[in-house]
Structure 1
Amino acid sequence: MLKTILAVAAAGIIAGASYLVAGPNAAAAEFILYKTPGCGCCESYADYLRDNDFTVTVRPTHELTFMSREAGIPDILQGCHLAFIDNYVVSGHVSVGIINRILSERPDIKGVTLPGMPTGSPGMSGIKAGPFVIWEISESQPKVFAVE
């Protein structure tokens, strides 16, 4: 009986430690992605997220700029689509690595943005020409969240 109790306790400890190391399961969170109707790179980005085990619902809109402003993203930092996941906003072609970091660390920010449509970013064709600067969106002035 004692061996059974110890085995169950050990399994619980290992499972808990695995969760802490790996972070939350990305598939547990669902993206709602807003895009301009007909935008192909936004569809490619949605496929990229799906390929990385996220659930994605795509919603076409002609209100993307207004929605991005409402989410706190200055015009100069807006990406080509806007997504929401687990109370965070993700604007543009942000990598899954950054998204998983946010979901595991839970920073006190509104979200992140990769402005424009950088060549070679997730969902965009071409070869990456330089580092991608991902901006943090918060109540204060935007600042660099990460460089990839």
Structure 2
Amino acid sequence: MRKSLLALALAFSATAAQAADIVMHRSEGCGCCLKWVERLQSAGHEVKVVNEADMRAFKVANNVPMRLSSCHTALVEGYVIEGHVPAADIERLLAERPDAIGLAVPGMPMGSPGMEHGDMVEAYNTYLLKKDGTFEVWAEHGRS
């Protein structure tokens, strides 16, 4: 009976992480941001879009290091998601729940979610943003 309850709890946690509500903030008119939203929705997430008049101020208020910034910033369950972070990385973050600010994919790497262009894929990293201002590689993408 206990194993069944544990399995049920773990399945519910994984489902909850996958179906997390995300609020994405962006500058109005940025098309790749909306493509990123489409990728997350395809992965089962609900995403609300908010247009910000001053994205830089929003990023500063949410502790996003400018050297790791991108075009949009999302918030999910107390975490910051900066840029074109893949859904699987967000789901892992929500499953593992590290004591951190969130995740970032700096810039706009070709082939990242929302930045697809044919079969071109640029190697890029997703970084874990730590509360002490440091960061580390959370996941590597686009490498053979």
Could you tell me the TM-score, scaled by structure 1's length? Answer: 0.83
In structure 2, what is the equivalent of residue 13 of structure 1?
A: 3
1:142 aligns with 2:134: yes
Where does the alignment leave 5 or more consecutive residues of structure 2 unmatched?
Answer: none
Looking at structure 2, the residues matched to 15 and 55 of structure 1 have their Cα atoms a distance apart, in angstroms, of 27
Cα shift at 1:28: 4.2
CA distance in 2, matches of 1:53, 1:70: 28
Q: Which aligned pairs between 1:1-148 and structure 2 lie closer than 5 A?
A: 9=1, 13-14=3-4, 16-17=6-7, 19-20=9-10, 23-26=14-17, 28-126=19-117, 127-130=120-123, 132-144=124-136, 145-148=138-141
Q: Unpaired runs of 5+ in structure 1?
A: 1-8
1:72·1:138 contact (CA, 8 Å) conserved in 2?
Answer: no
Deviations 1:79-115 (A, max 9, x none): 2100000111100000111101111000000101101
Distance in 2, matches of 1:88 and 1:77, equals 15
Letter in 2 for 1:70: A
Provide the identity percentage. 30
- The 8 Å contact of residues 26 and 53 in structure 1, kept in 2 or not, is answered as no
CA contact (8 A) 2:24 2:49 kept: yes
Cα distance between partner residues in 2 of 1:135 and 1:142: 10
Q: TM-score w.r.t. structure 2 length?
A: 0.85
What CA distance in whole angstroms lies between the structure 2 residues aligned with 1:116 and 1:15?
Answer: 43
Cα-Cα RMSD = 1.9
Q: Which has the higher strand share?
A: 2
1:137 Cα deviation after fit: 1.6
Determine which structure has more spread, i.e. the larger CA radius of gyration.
Answer: 1
TM-fit CA distance, 1:16 = 3.0
Instruction: Letter of the 1:69 partner, please give it.
Output: V
Query: Contact conserved, 2:19 with 2:44, CA < 8 A, in 1?
Result: no
